[in-house]
Each structure stands twice: as C-alpha cells, then as structure tokens.
Structure 1
Amino acid sequence: MRFKRLDLNLLVALDNLLALQSVSAAAARMNMSQSAMSNALTRLRTYFNDPLLVQVGRRMELTPRAVSMQAAVRDILVRIEATIETAPEFDPVNTDREFSILLSDYSLTVLMPRVLALAEEMGANVRFRLLPQTAYPYKLLEKGEADLLISPEFYVSDDHPYERLFTDPYVCVVCRDSALAGKEITREVYAATGHAVMVPPNSAGSLEAEMLARLGIERRIDVSAFSFSALPNLIVGTEKIATVHRHIARIAAQTLPLEIHPLPFKLDPLTQAMQWHSYRDGDPGLVWLRDLIVRAAQTLEGSGDAVPLANPIDVLNTVDP
C-alpha cells in the first residue's frame, strides 16, 4: 500500500532503523536479511532525498532530517498498533496476552506479589513481563514498548493519563543489635550516623535525596546501592541507618533483626501511581489490568498494621500517612 508514493511497509523498517541506528540490528529485529534491510534503506533515502543514516567512524548516526522524523514515525506506528491490537472485549481466563510493566524494585517487592496473587486467584491466563525503569520511563510508553508504568507520581508525564495507587511514608531502620537500638533517632543522630542509600541506575539521585536536599539535610553516606529493597539487609550487623518506605521496612522486619523508627523531620510520603499511553485508554485488556492493580494496591493500603514484625520498635503511628 502506498501513501503519497511511499510504500507504507517501509515505515516499520524506517522506525527500526531510526531507533537502532544499525542496518544489521534493524534487520535482526524484523527477521529480515541484511541485504533486504539495506534495500529498504536505499528506497527510503530515495523517497526522502536524504541519507537518513550516515557512517561516522565505526557507527552510524542520524541526519537532522532523520532526527526530526523519529518521534512522528514512532507515534504513527503506536497509533496503528493500538488500533489493531485492541480487541472489543477481554477475557483474562481465555487469553495468552502478555503485559509489559515498567517498575522499580520497590514495586517489584511491595506491590507485584499482590497483583500476581490476585491474578492467580481469578484464574487469569495472562503473562507478565516486568521491566526495570529507565531515567525517563514514560518515553517507553510513548514508544509503545511497555503497556504500563508504575512510578512515583513525581516522575509521571503530563501527556498521558495516570491514576494514584497508594502512599507510603518514609521511616528509618536500624539493626536491633546496634548501639542505635532502643534510642530516639534525633535529627542530630540522623546527620551524624552513616547511611546506606539507594541511587537509581542512570540517575543522579533518588526522590528521597532530592527532598532531603530541599530541607537542607545532609547525610553521611557510607554505602550506596541500586536497590530499595536491599537497604534493610545492608545495615544488619552495622551501626548504620537506612531511610526506606514503611512497607519495605515492615516486609524486611519479618525476617531481619530490625527496629523501625519515625524520621526526625517531616518528609512527604511516596505517592505511587500507574500510567498508560493515552492511545490505549480504552483497551479492554489494560482496563482489566489497571483494575487488578488498583485492587492489589487497596489490599496493600489496609494491610500495614496487620503485618507481624520481628520485635521491632514500631512507633509508626507518629508518622504522618
């Protein structure tokens, strides 16, 4: 099929060439021979009267014309995919659909076990592909490379719909065998003690670090890691503090010798949200998935006080929700 003399089959090849900036990689993704992809590139160059990809050293780079087209071409294909892939109805029991979800290890630890349990309870036959977040995860939504993003509300895009799921206040955890055990964590103690912190991959810092900086609170960072859920493990057997979300702390305290303390200052709680592409707003499968995640979040929200702890000092009623 042609539109204004352009073979529309070439749009998919163009999209992959612009994304991967490699003839061989684009050919592999589309299960084409390299010669066939080279031929597609030649035809595209002729149509647009532009080289599109140029050799610079050992790699190929996009021309300015190619850069200007990249987002628009992807947007066209996302619209087409959303149109042809959306069935009029969705039956989670009789499907083999796979959902791709972008999320942090926090959501992987706290929320997703409940989502999977609910899906299992319903007899759903869906599959889940859980993907790590990038520096700008909503861009993968825009490219159609993920169905859903679960992220702090602070990081969602204004260009697509989203829904708040739950809030989770920050707390301190210390080892139950440390000198900090049984003592009040004052602001002075917090500043003077070594900390284990999470620094997201491909990022300058976490949301928590940004909020602390705005309050003028400095920490002595002894350990930095890439995982939220690992922080409680890293302080066991040490004199260090970790600032974590309450749900992470309570899950960890079931198996680790931890005490949970309120922060000695006010810090806005984490507000977790889920976001999806505006073109997929009416997709029955995603509507079902979003409802499933909301239900899972509701069980999480009401479960905190019922979690049995391993003898920590649980003074969390003093923490603002």
Structure 2
Amino acid sequence: MRFHGLDLNLLVALNALLTERNISRAAERVCLSQPAMSNALARLRDYFNDELLSTVGRQLVLTPRAEALLEPVREVLMRIESTISARWSFDPATEARSFNIQLSDYSATVFLPALIQRLSKEAPKVRLNLLPVDGRQSDVIEQGEVDLLIMPSQYVLAQHPTTPLFEERYVCVTWDEHPEIRTELTVEAYLAAGHVIAHFGAKAPVFEGWFFERYGVSRRIEITAPTLSSLPRFVVGTPRLATVHRRVALECQKSLPIKIWELPFEMPKLVQTMQWHRHRTNDASLSWLRQCAEEVGRAI
C-alpha cells in the first residue's frame, strides 16, 4: 500500500533503522535479511531525498531530517499497533495473554509474588515475561516493548499515564557487629562510613543527587552492586552501611547478621509507580492487569 508515493511497509523498516542506527540490528529487529534492510534504506533515502543515516567514524548517526522523523514515525506505528491489537473485552478465567513487565529486583521481591498468586487463581492462562531494569525506561515504553513499567515515581515519563502502587520508606543496615555503630546511627557516622549502593544503567542514582543537594557532600561509595536486594549482604563483616528499602531490610534480617537503623535525617518516601503507554489505556486485558496490580499494591 502506498501513501503519497511511499510504500507504507517501509515505515516499519524506517522505525527500526532510526531506533537501532545499525543496519544489521534493524534487520534483526523486524526479521529481515541485511540485504533487504539495505534495500529498504536505499528506497527511504530516495523517497525523502536525504541520507537519513550517515557514517561518522564507525557509527551511523541520524541526519537532522531523520531526527525530525523519529518521534512521528514511532507515534504512527504505536497508534496502529495499539488499535489493531487492543482487546475490547477480556475474560481472565479463559483467555490466554502474555504481558511484558519491567521492574526492579526490589519490586520482584516485595510486590510481584502477591500479584502472581492472584493471577494464578483468576487468570491461569496468563503469562508474564519479566524484564530487569536496565536504564532504558523511556525506550521500552515509547517503543511498546513492555506493557507495564513498575518504577519509583521519579523515573517515569511525563507523557504516559501512571498510577501509584504503594509507598516505601528507607532505613540503614549495618553488620550487627559493626565496630563503631553500636547504639546509635548519627549523621556524622553515616557520612563517615563507606557505602554500598545499587546502580542501574548509565544514569547516576537519583538518591545521590538528592543527598548532595540536601547536605552539600557526597557519600563515600565503596561498593556498587547490580541489585537492590543484595545490598544488606555486602555490609556483613565490614564497617560499611547501606541505605535500603525497609521491606528488603526486614526480609534480609531473617537470614543475615545485620542491624536495622532509622535514618538519621529525613528522606522522602519512595512511591512505587506503574506506567503504561498512553495508546494502550483502553486495552481491556491491560486494564484488567492494572486493576489487579493496584489492588495488590494497596494490600501490601
């Protein structure tokens, strides 16, 4: 099908090329051979009278025209996909559906088990594909790679709908035989200690920026871990401490020789939030899953 002389099938290839900025990866993304994707790029260049992707060193970069096309093309395809695939009715007791959910190991530990138990009873044929947090929150939502994103409120995107699931507060954990922090955790002791933190993706943790702005100093970070739930383990046998979610600390205290301390300063609560693409708001199956998630979150 053509629209103003453009083969509309090329829009899918164009989106893959603009997103991946690599012919081989773009071809793999839409299940084409590399020669077929190269041919599609040549046709697109001819239609737009623009290189779209130009070589700079060993990389392909978007031309200004391609940059201008990136969001509109993605928006058009998402509208088409959401219109075609949206379910206007959904019977959880009988229907099969697969959902992609991106969430941290913290949410997988304290929230997901209860949701899975509920889905197992109400929707036995529903499948969940769980994806780890990797710093690509904006990409996975915009490109429709996930159905739900479960993240702290400061990480979600302003242009897509959200709803809060539950709140959490932070505490500190130390080895229960810490050589210096024995009866009280003061601000001075907190600042003097080495810290164990979690870090996902390329961006610095939000907490670091907040803490520096509040106190004008940086924590001395000595260990950076890839998961939140591992932090209490890494303070055992050391003079370090970790600032963690209260539910994680309480769970780890059951099996680890750690002590839990209230923070020696005020810190905003974490608001765990659920987000989805705005074009999928009316999908009946996703609406049902969101309702289940909200009810589970309120019961935590």
Shared fold (TM-score, shorter chain, > 0.5): yes
Q: For residues 17 and 4 of structure 2, what CA distance do their matches in structure 1 show?
A: 21
CA shift, 1:123, in A, is 4.0
> 1:226-253 CA distances to partner (integer Å, 9 max, x unpaired)?
3211110101122221111111111111
Q: For residues 57 and 201 of structure 1, what CA distance do their matches in structure 2 show?
A: 25
> 1:28-48 CA distances to partner (integer Å, 9 max, x unpaired)?
332223332222222222211
TM-score, normalisation: structure 2: 0.92
8 Å contact from structure 1 (residues 150, 272) kept in 2: yes
Q: Which moved more, 1:155-164 or 1:116-125?
A: 116-125
8 Å contact from structure 2 (residues 181, 189) kept in 1: no
Residue in structure 1 matched with residue 162 of structure 2 by the alignment = 162
8 Å contact from structure 1 (residues 175, 181) kept in 2: no
Q: Which moved more, 1:58-67 or 1:223-232?
A: 58-67
Matched, 1:269 2:269: yes
For structure 1, the 5+ residue unaligned runs are 301-321
8 Å contact from structure 2 (residues 136, 201) kept in 1: no
8 Å contact from structure 1 (residues 201, 226) kept in 2: no
Given the superposition, is the C-alpha separation of residues 126 and 33 from structure 1 closer, same or farther in structure 2, using an over 3 Å criterion? same
Q: Secondary structure at the match of 2:203?
A: coil
Q: Secondary structure at the match of 2:255?
A: coil
**Structure 1 runs of 4+ with >6 Å offset:** none
CA shift, 1:98, in A, is 1.7
For the aligned residues, what is the CA RMSD?
Answer: 1.9
Given the superposition, is the C-alpha separation of residues 149 and 230 from structure 1 closer, same or farther in structure 2, using an over 3 Å criterion? same
Q: For residues 162 and 140 of structure 2, what CA distance do their matches in structure 1 show?
A: 15
Identity of aligned residues (%): 43
Q: Secondary structure at the match of 1:244?
A: strand
Residue in structure 2 matched with residue 87 of structure 1 by the alignment = 87
CA shift, 1:180, in A, is 5.1
Matched residue type, 2:206:
L
Q: Which moved more, 1:51-60 or 1:14-23?
A: 51-60
CA shift, 1:136, in A, is 5.1
CA shift, 1:218, in A, is 4.3
CA shift, 1:75, in A, is 0.8
CA shift, 1:159, in A, is 1.1
Q: For residues 28 and 215 of structure 1, what CA distance do their matches in structure 2 show?
A: 46
Q: For residues 100 and 106 of structure 1, what CA distance do their matches in structure 2 show?
A: 17
> 1:108-158 CA distances to partner (integer Å, 9 max, x unpaired)?
222222222221232432222222334351332122121111111122222
8 Å contact from structure 2 (residues 166, 272) kept in 1: yes
Q: Secondary structure at the match of 2:196?
A: strand
> 1:76-114 CA distances to partner (integer Å, 9 max, x unpaired)?
000100000001112234333221122222212222222
Matched, 1:197 2:212: no
Residue in structure 1 matched with residue 211 of structure 2 by the alignment = 212
Given the superposition, is the C-alpha separation of residues 60 and 240 from structure 1 closer, same or farther in structure 2, using an over 3 Å criterion? closer
> 1:247-294 CA distances to partner (integer Å, 9 max, x unpaired)?
111111122122211111111111111111111111111111111211
Q: For residues 236 and 29 of structure 1, what CA distance do their matches in structure 2 show?
A: 44
8 Å contact from structure 1 (residues 196, 241) kept in 2: yes
Q: For residues 51 and 195 of structure 2, what CA distance do their matches in structure 1 show?
A: 53
Q: For residues 84 and 269 of structure 2, what CA distance do their matches in structure 1 show?
A: 40
Q: For residues 31 and 138 of structure 1, what CA distance do their matches in structure 2 show?
A: 24
Matches within 5 A, 1:128-167: 128-135=128-135, 137-167=137-167
The total of aligned residue pairs comes to: 299
Residue in structure 2 matched with residue 303 of structure 1 by the alignment = none
Q: For residues 33 and 197 of structure 1, what CA distance do their matches in structure 2 show?
A: 43
Matched residue type, 1:283:
D
Q: Secondary structure at the match of 1:215?
A: helix
Q: Secondary structure at the match of 2:24?
A: helix
Matches within 5 A, 1:1-321: 1-135=1-135, 137-179=137-179, 182-204=182-204, 206-216=205-215, 218-300=218-300
TM-score, normalisation: structure 1: 0.86
8 Å contact from structure 1 (residues 196, 242) kept in 2: yes
Q: For residues 42 and 211 of structure 1, what CA distance do their matches in structure 2 show?
A: 48
For structure 2, the 5+ residue unaligned runs are none
8 Å contact from structure 2 (residues 98, 129) kept in 1: yes
